[in-house]
A and B are shown apart, each in its own frame.
Chain A
Amino acid sequence: MLDHTYAGTKVWAECDLLIQRVTEIFKGEKLMIGITAYGTYIPLWRMRRDLISAGKTGEKAVASFDEDSVTMAVAAADNCLADMDRQSIDGLFFASTTSPYKEKLVSTIIAAVLDLPKEILTADFTNSLRSGTIAMKSAMDSVSAGSAKQILVVVTDCRLGAPGSDFEHSCGDGAAAFIIGNKDIVAGVEGFHSTFSEIMDVWRADGDQFIRNGEERFVQSQGYQKVVPPTVTRLMKQKNLTAKDFAKAIVNGSTSRRQRDICRTIGFDPKTQVQDGLFDTVGNTGAALTPMLLAYALEQAKPDQLFLAASYGDGCDAFVLRTTGLVGKAKSKLSVKEQIASKRMVPDYKTYLEWRGLLTMQRLSRPLAGPISVAALWRDQQYILPFHGVKCQVCGTVQYPPQRVCTKCHTKDKFDAVRLAGKRGTVFTYSLDYLSSGIEPPPVAITVFDFEGGGRALLMMTDRILSEVKIGMPVEMTFRKYFSHEGIHNYIWKTMPVRRELLTGGKA
């Protein structure tokens, strides 16, 4: 039986909300939608391009052997969420051209890892370099329509160019995350325009390992240059704006020269108005490029500045954003600048090839055994994905993995779940296993790790150089891929050196 009283109350409450919105619209006060928080992730590892081809300049960010689009998305989202109340997020959109699954959402993996509420909309936007801006636009529309208040959008890419190709030189790995909402806005969206363009310029068919592209001169003249300027110009015209009105233009481009050229065509001053594209430090991060550069621009922005952000891929999406007085206040855990500065160098091309699975070295190691139990993976997901331990309600002892009976006071089934993921701690003891199995080149650093605030776990350490692994070393946690088997990507939390403490960089 429907509770009429309750149902009636709910209808009236919704009517109230509607009346309020209509009134606002008539008063000319549009409900502002925009970015309320942002964060990025740039892998610790960089490779000098001249390791691929002599004479090439700059370096690119390279996902470690245990990173992929999912793990980088988690890192960017974590950076964006910082200390925010995760229960207030009511949607998660994932965008990438390099989802590890053809059939299966990865937004659900990420939502589980991040401890987001169970009853939210999760969606993957894939297959296009525009997927990131499409996801952002969809999030804005959802908030605008009132179906969500705060949507977390994570955009990530880890694209593979064939060895020696231009793509291999230019592509870098990374991710960006935004919260799109209508409260505490950092940068409000004032306009959007989209154009589609059907052209075979960059593509990767089902089953292809590497990205393909059409003849470069054709792609540039009939694709990029023909689509981006009119889209941006049309948007500015709609909003009665000219190029001069913008503090920065964030325009996708495959090289810094192309980016400058296209900005000049539109009317921006290449010297002052073009956002640095990170081509020589990070590389072209695919679908994540425009979002990452936007986050980078917002880090340096002042209140009440206009930004233009445009992506390119099977067409063009362009946004006009205006910063608010909160722009300096939203702080992600680690800025783009700090992540660029904290780096380690991939020692050689062979290492890079091995990390990307393009070269298999035969090693004396223990082979992996047996299949992954999908039932166990599902059953244990609370302690695998969001790394929940338990805290005894009677004696307060924090324990990982979760137990039925308390290790200290032996009370049965009286525990509270505690999220240990993302906690810092110190190495209590460790070993370096030279015969270990898995996808990691030996040795595998294995740590007994004591969490700040209690609890202990035995975890592998990643992104480390051997000489720094020590007892008492401060470490933080990072979500990584353990191994893949029979189409299942098995993720796991590891420890790593505290990224902020590697700001001097390049020691490896």
Chain B
Amino acid sequence: MIGIKDRVAVVGMGCTKFGELWDKEALDLAVDAAYEAYEDAGVEPKDIQAVWLGHAYEGLTGTRLARALKLDYVPVTHVENLCCSGTDAFRNACYGVASGAYDIVMAVGMEKLKDNGQAGQRSGIDPDVTSRTKFVDAAPPSFAFLATRYFHHYGLSYEEGKKILAKIAVKNHHNGALNPKAMLQKEITLEEVVNAPIVAYPLGLYDCCGISDGGAAAIITTPEIAKRLRKDYITVKALSVVCGAMQGTLQSDYDFVHIEETVRASRMAYQEFGIKDPRREIHMAEVHDCFTITELLICEDLGFSPRGKGPEDVLKGTFELDGELPVNTDGGLNTFGHPIGASGLRMIYEVYKQFQGKAGPRQLKRIDTGLVHNLGGAPPGNYTVTITILGRP
């Protein structure tokens, strides 16, 4: 296996502000993100040879994007992998270039959730086409299972557990407050998080990411072409996708305190890039904090913290902006909300900007390796996880 390491480069990116964008439809967000990316890369729309479009609930086919962007007779492939749709579109675009089939391609993620006419999440996410004959829980309780079990497994009282999770929300809100593209740009206190109304016990309002609209895009090319376009391009070091097969509920030995799909995907990605000590070798991570408990488990599953020691790292600030290994420097899903197909590319956008030193007040001092992690589906055992590792050429 040759692998993807250093075979493709990200040469331009765009990302809209995320939020309740009542005056925009999904395709407007794709247009805004794509044109920012064209400009950033210094390419023309006609230079794009193929497009991969990630979204989950936005209708069918790639022609919608072709129509919006007036891409004349180029392939547009719709990629759907729930919350991983954006990073899976990115991955497909990377392989498109790495295969030699194309020189310059684009990955676009978009999602318009606020047209559904209600607050909060839609009815239970059933990755199967629903026949409505069986019970399907919504995302908040499905992730809350992990929190309930984590507290129990490690002997944390409700108050102790809530405080640890609250620290994650406080950190992400702090970062989001420094980001003009975040939906929520406001600091919150530990007390506010702990005392917020419960959405799905034990998770409260601030433990859950919001529902928002957004779009993001990346232009991907060969390192040779990238060199001609700009100096500060970044390269892809590893790509992995892992799909669970419902082991979490089919097998009664699954523990609900880790997510095996993340463990497996990270193992594949670390091997592809050659990472042995992720805590030292990875300098920043954008991870799928759909809920605070998810971020806690991810940090253990990715090997940032030893098993069961995630809380210690959270409490001592390891993952904060000035910590040892900053996580979700842009504010995460926690402050961006989660427009399904857009989130993954938004996370890559943050890593890209950090590499280029353009992250403003959130700028990190040292960054050579960044990791992006997405996780989608429900319940545990039924997840898709994508991991994207980015670095300097």
Contacts and interface: CB of A to CB of B under 8 A. Distances in A.
B132 A370 contact: yes
Given A366-B120, A403-B250, A435-B199, 5 more contacts: A380-B134, A428-B256, A448-B249, A456-B251, A471-B148
A431 interface: yes
Contacts of A407: 245-247, 250-251
Interface stretch (A16-24, A457-465, A497-505): A457-465
Contacts of A371: 132
Contacts of A435: 120-121, 138, 140, 199-200
A375 B129 CA distance: 13
B230 interface: no
A175 interface: no
A458 B252 contact: no
A456 B249 contact: yes
A400 B134 CA distance: 12
Contacts of B152: 429, 471
9 contacts: A366-B121, A366-B122, A369-B123, A376-B133, A384-B134, A407-B250, A428-B256, A433-B144, A456-B250
Interface in A373-431: 373, 375-377, 380, 384, 397, 399-401, 403, 407-408, 428-431
Contacts of A270: none
B303 interface: no
Nearest to A455: B252
A454 interface: yes
B138 A492 contact: no
A366 B138 contact: yes
A490 B132 contact: yes
B383 to A, nearest CB: 14
A507 interface: no
B135 interface: yes
A380 B199 CA distance: 32
Contacts of B102: none
Contacts of B145: 429-431, 446, 448
B131 interface: yes
A377 B245 CA distance: 23
Interface string B237-264: 0000000011101111000100000000
B141 interface: yes
B251 A373 contact: no
Contact of A364 (B120, B132, B149): B120
Contacts of B147: 431
Contact of A367 (B123, B202, B256): B123
B245 to A, nearest CB: 7
B61 interface: no
A482 interface: yes
Interface of A: 364, 366-373, 375-377, 380, 384, 397, 399-401, 403, 407-408, 428-437, 443-444, 446, 448, 450, 454-460, 471, 482, 485, 490, 492
Contacts of A376: 131, 133
Contacts of B60: none
B154 interface: no
A485 B252 CA distance: 33
B337 interface: no
Interface in B90-125: 118-124
Contacts of A373: 131-133
B271 interface: no
Given A407-B246, A428-B149, A436-B141, A490 B200 contact: no
B249 A457 contact: yes
Contacts of A490: 132-133
Nearest to B120: A435
B344 interface: no
B86 interface: no
Contacts of B138: 366, 433, 435-436
A492 B132 CA distance: 11
A450 B138 CA distance: 20
B275 interface: no
A434 B138 CA distance: 11
A164 B358 CA distance: 70
B251 A408 contact: yes
A163 B132 CA distance: 33
Given A448-B256, A455-B252, A456-B250, A432 B201 contact: yes
Contact of B201 (A369, A384, A443, A492): A443
B195 interface: no
B201 to A, nearest CB: 4
Most buried by B among A377, A429, A430, A448: A429
Contacts of A443: 198, 200-201
B234 to A, nearest CB: 39
A431 B135 contact: no
Contact of A492 (B135, B142, B198): B135
A404 B232 CA distance: 51
B379 interface: yes
Interface string B253-289: 0001000000000000000000000000000000000
Contacts of A367: 118, 123
Nearest to B201: A432
B135 A458 contact: yes
A366 B131 contact: no
Contacts of A370: 130, 132
B148 A429 contact: yes
B137 interface: yes
Contacts of A433: 137-138, 140-141, 144, 199-201
A432 B200 CA distance: 5
A152 B265 CA distance: 55
B42 interface: no
Most buried by A among B118, B121, B132, B152: B132
Contacts of B200: 431-435, 443
Contacts of A377: 131, 133
Nearest to B378: A458
A372 B132 CA distance: 5
B360 interface: no
Contact of A458 (B122, B144, B203, B249): B249
A458 B134 CA distance: 10
Contact of A434 (B148, B198, B249, B256): B198
B202 to A, nearest CB: 8
Contacts of B121: 366, 435
Contacts of A450: 252
A457 B152 CA distance: 19
A430 B144 CA distance: 7
Interface in B130-182: 130-135, 137-138, 140-142, 144-149, 152
Contacts of B249: 448, 456-458
B248 to A, nearest CB: 8
A365 to B, nearest CB: 8
A485 B140 contact: no
A377 B131 CA distance: 8
B206 to A, nearest CB: 14
A431 B199 CA distance: 10
A448 to B, nearest CB: 6
Most buried by A among B152, B197, B201, B379: B201
Contact of A380 (B122, B133, B246): B133
